[in-house]
A and B are shown apart, each in its own frame.
Chain A
Amino acid sequence: MKPENRDIYELLIIAGSFLLLVPFLHTHRITDFMIFCIFVLSFDLLYGYMGRLSFGHLLYLGAGAYGAGLSLRHLTANPLLAILLGIAAACLLAMLAGLIVVRATGACFALINLAFNQTGWFLVMSPLRGITNGQDGFGIGAMRLGFFNFGSATFRFWFVLITLLLVFFLLKRVTSSPYGVLVRSIKEDETRVRFLGYNTYLYKWLTFVFSASVAGLSGALTALNYAYVNPNTMDVHKNVGAVFACLIGGAGRLYGALIGGVVYMLISNFLPLYVLRWEMFLGLALLIIVFRFRRGIWGSFEVWLSRAAASARLRAQSGKGAPVK
């Protein structure tokens, strides 16, 4: 199979999988799922690929949401431009914060990000209340530009689906490039990468900014999908969802992020309907993943595939007459 064809088939399979959900869920819900998947993809680049676990990535989702929302309120009536401005807001913020945070690793990295996220939340809640309307947030009015009618749930569904596919395709390209190898190498041993002649600080910063920009995109889409922005969009507690989604799907795998994103959304949307204190089950599931199921759903699937291929090869060899003990 030609690589270009393969890309197209993969994108079609992803699109088809989300379309399969249509008979079972409201389109609005599925759109929500897909936006979360974009966020998990951005989180996975930072966590799964580069090995930097952030507890404050929601800040950039929030920046995207407020960036897009405020643009639509005050600057422009063009929703596409507003999305771009939302991404730009997250990108700029990450360019500045990144200068500091990428110096840290491990728990420090996680906590500095958390501190920035909390600061952002506080700013939006109180000192910037005049612009953001504090806790209550603000609604976004008519969001139509010709064909691009964000007032329609169906249009939003297709728009977000195509955006998700584009993000997936972009990340796939990027993670299978030499840069992708660099990012995975930094995860394993950053010092060693420096001794290959690479300025790892620069690339960590770049990855951080890139990841935050994609998070900003998911934030801008959140704002458009709800026609509403409030500080909840950058609630640090939601960060756990992204970690969980990466782990359950398989960290460091783009398919893992998609599967994990959908599974987490299904659990967090529907388990509370049947079970009180559903978070407890989330905690239990996390324990099982960490101790028994390290590779997540997609990682385990890959292992199963390669084992099946190996045993098929063995069988083919023994079929040729070589005696097998």
Chain B
Amino acid sequence: MSEVLTIRGLTKRFGGLVAVNGVDLRVEEKETVGIIGPNGSGKTTLFNLITGLFQPTAGQIVFMDRDVTSARPEQRVAAGMVRTFQLVSVFNSLRVWENLVLCVTRFDAAHSSIWKFMTSPATGGTIRDDCYGVLRLVGLEDKAGTMTSELSYGDKRLLEIAIALSLKPKLLLLDEPLSGLSDVEVVDILNLLRRIKRDVTIIIIEHKVSMIVDFVDRLCVMNEGRFVSEGEPSEVLRDPAVQKCYWGKEGTRGC
């Protein structure tokens, strides 16, 4: 198996605060890695570094055998690195299906020229059908025509994951995709993720360990910007270092 992502000594300082402190991580193809850790431990910042929203203070990021440490976010997306956001991020001012227009046109040969991109109707050709096709995958097809702002939080999450999947990711980074959802919605999203797990490499951040413990192949525990433990999920949870930093602060409510 080949490595999709390799991180070496990744560090990010915000003034005096070291949010991410010398993190090393290797992710193999088709692997699902979970990252857990208390609030403020640097999980989201780590994603922001991997995906290029922030430049690291030190360290190196290699994606698909290419050093992308200084690549722009859109270049990383073009290479197949796709993410979702902790606060659900969809386009509220667009209709639901329009959220996918920019994704499907990226892979549509008919829109490869800027002229076509700027003058052919978004409702015409295969674009709209392709968008509806993606929505069908996540079960949002019957809401395709509504305004995105009118969707429930759970549906917005589904839409956001649909957007991510339509970008044909090789590596999918999910930042707390289950937070703020009802139990039913959590099941929906986990079912969806289980379906794609075999085809995509996934890194998932989650606050509630119990939700993802049977879903991930490997679990990393982050605390104060470092990985304090890493390995097979059930073993990691038994690690005394983890119990100290994680449950010590959080109590056992989360699991």
Q: Which of B51-72 contact A (CB under 8 A)?
A: 51, 53, 72
Residue numbers in B under 8 Å from A184 (CB-CB):
91, 93-94
How far does the Cβ of B48 sit from chain A's closest Cβ, in whole Å? 11
A276 in contact (CB, < 8 A): no
For the complex, give the distance between the alpha carbons of A197 and B101 in Å.
13
B103 in contact (CB, < 8 A): yes
Binding-face segment, A81-89, A173-181, A262-270, A310-318:
A173-181
Render B4-21 as a binary contact track against A, CB cut-off 8 A, 1 for contact: 000000000000000000
Say which residue of A3, A173, A181 sits within 8 Å of B101 (CB atoms): A181
Say which residue of B85, B89, B102, B106 sits within 8 Å of A181 (CB atoms): B102
For the complex, give the distance between the alpha carbons of A182 and B98 in Å.
10
How many chain B residues touch A (CB < 8 A): the figure is: 32
Residue numbers in B under 8 Å from A180 (CB-CB):
122
Count contacts between A and B, CB distance < 8 Å: 77
How far does the Cβ of B22 sit from chain A's closest Cβ, in whole Å? 26
Q: Is the CB of A174 within 8 A of B73?
A: no
For the complex, give the distance between the alpha carbons of A294 and B74 in Å.
34
Q: Is the CB of B122 within 8 A of A176?
A: yes
For the complex, give the distance between the alpha carbons of A180 and B72 in Å.
23
Q: Is the CB of B74 within 8 A of A178?
A: no
How far does the Cβ of A305 sit from chain B's closest Cβ, in whole Å? 15
Q: Is the CB of B102 within 8 A of A195?
A: no
How far does the Cβ of A174 sit from chain B's closest Cβ, in whole Å? 6
Q: Is the CB of B89 within 8 A of A178?
A: no
For the complex, give the distance between the alpha carbons of A184 and B98 in Å.
10
B223 in contact (CB, < 8 A): no
B127 in contact (CB, < 8 A): yes
B-side residues, CB < 8 A to A, are 51, 53, 72-74, 77-78, 82-83, 85, 89, 91-94, 98, 101-103, 105-106, 111, 117-123, 127, 163, 167
